[in-house]
Structure 1
Amino acid sequence: MQGDANPHGSLQEAKLLTVHHLGVSQSERIVWLCEELELEYGLKRYDRRADNRLAPDAYKALHPMGIAPVITDGDVVLGESAAICEYINVRYGDGRLAPAPDEPGFADHLFWFHWSNATFMTTKMMALALGFVGRNPSDVPFVQERVQRSRELIEARLGDHPYFGGQSLTLADIMMVYSLTTTRAFSKEPLAGMPNTHAYLKRIGEREAYRRAMAKAEPGMTPMLD
């Protein structure tokens, strides 16, 4: 559970599971996951470049894709949020943050776990890219419709269930929360008209593991839970 947050410090054990966290990025998910599972892990934090706010060369060198998140675990170097979540949950968490196939909520958990990046984050990235080239996403019906459908789907789910995976926190929540919170540091998108989502994020913000994770991953930054 204790991480080394020094971006330049050496870890005491070379084979220790290490989360390489790029500031204000998807890799916060992995820090939170490790805290929820109360794992012993190393944490190396990398600041974004001042000139373009992208990953520094040292981070890009970790994995051929050059993007966050990345973990190292002995000889294993693994990228991609969902892959890392499954790897850690199965290898170190006895699978306890994912329902078994015969448990209620199994299919819902799978949907939200994969929907987070496959559809929701893709939609948000399309909107962000339009902004980069001076287009208003609301002027592109295809994107705007997907944004609205996503908001309605999320709000309906959280009106019927306390967590995306059902009655308890699962990897689906680990994936979804970043998409509802820290991503808004880039888009400035409000969560207006989403009371169920606000209530959900309040519950998440009260979790000790989440509070520890954000304090380590983003010291000095207030989690965007409102």
Structure 2
Amino acid sequence: MTIILHHLNASRSFRVLWLLEEIQKDYELKSYFRDGVTNLAPQELKNIHPLGKSPVIELNGKIIAESGTIVEFLIEKFASHLAPAKDSDSYLDYLQWIHFSESSAMVPYLLKIFNSIELKNGTELKFLDRYADAELDKVFSYLDQQLAGKKYLVEDRLTGADFMIGFVVYGLINSLGIRSKYLNIEQYVENLESLESWQKAINIENNLV
């Protein structure tokens, strides 16, 4: 039962690549690259899924999209040790953090990136810049507080919640360059970067051709 990961460079697909390296499940990697001018995904991804986005996996002929869905599915099917017991209070925390990653956290993060692009191109921002700054600080200050004294988000061990939020906070520290403000997040990212599975995934990502 081989998994095919349709992987776009510099995308949410890193979550799935990292997870597959962690659970050491056999998979086939099909790589796609962003357009050098538009930075958008190539049209070839639309041949896999109508939205033309990544990650997408294939398993037994079934196409599965959305990184949160893929992470939850792969853990439930192949790596149950990466999730708390379903009858525990920790499982509710786990689900909340998984969905936090693509909702509360991702929105201000992306707005901040898009705003920086618009500002570089001379666009005058009258609302979104202030809104993005306020939302980003609110969301990541909260996350920073929740990470105080912890290496991981849930049960202080590696779970699917870390695979989801890790992509966002890595970008917060590295792409947005926000350092020394959220010290617990910064330490959390350093811990994730020290994991063998993360290093393998980064190495694969950096050597795609």
Q: Per the alignment, do residues 183 and 217 of structure 1 end up closer, same or farther by CA in structure 2, a change over 3 Å counting?
A: farther
Structure 2: runs of 5+ lacking an equivalent: none
1:156 aligns with 145
Alignment correspondent of 1:129: 114
Q: Which amino acid in structure 1 is aligned with residue 33 of structure 2?
A: D
Aligned structure 1 segments of 4 or more residues deviating by more than 6 angstroms = none
Q: Does 1:180 align with 2:165?
A: no
Letter in 2 for 1:81: S
Cα distance in 1 for partners of 2:207, 2:172 equals 17
2:16 match: 30
Give 1:125 deviation, angstroms.
2.0
Cross-structure match for 2:132:
143
Structure 1 residues 37-48: aligned runs within 5 Å: 37-48=23-34
Give 1:200's match in structure 2, choosing from 174, 188, 193: 188
Partners of 2:191 and 2:17 lie apart in 1 by: 18
Structure 1 residue runs of 5 or longer lacking an equivalent are 1-14, 221-226
CA shift at 1:141, angstroms?
3.7
Per the alignment, in what secondary structure is the counterpart of residue 105 of structure 1?
helix
Q: Which residue of 2 aligns with 1:116?
A: 101
TM-score by length of 1: 0.81
Match of 1:11 in 2: none
**Given residue 172 of structure 1, which amino acid in structure 2 is its aligned partner?**
A
Q: Is the 8 A contact 1:17 1:42 kept in 2?
A: yes
Deviation, structure 1 residue 48: 1.3
Report the identity percentage: 25
Q: Structure 1 residues 38 and 67 mapped into 2: Cα distance closer, same or farther (>3 Å)?
A: same
Please state how far the C-alpha of 1:128 moved relative to its aligned partner.
3.0
1:214 to 192, 202, 205: 202
Give the one of 50, 54, 62 matched to 1:76.
62
Aligned CA RMSD, in angstroms, stands at 2.2
Letter in 2 for 1:143: A
**Once the 2 structures are TM-superposed, how far is the Cα of residue 163 of structure 1 from its aligned partner?**
0.7
In structure 2, distance between residues paired with 1:137 and 1:127? 14
Give the CA deviation at 1:213.
1.2
Residues in 2 aligned to 1:191 and 1:112: alpha-carbon distance in whole angstroms: 22
Size of the aligned set, in residue pairs, is: 204
2-side partners of 1:148 and 1:114: how far apart?
19
TM-score (norm 2): 0.87
**Structure (1 or 2) with the greater helix fraction:** 2
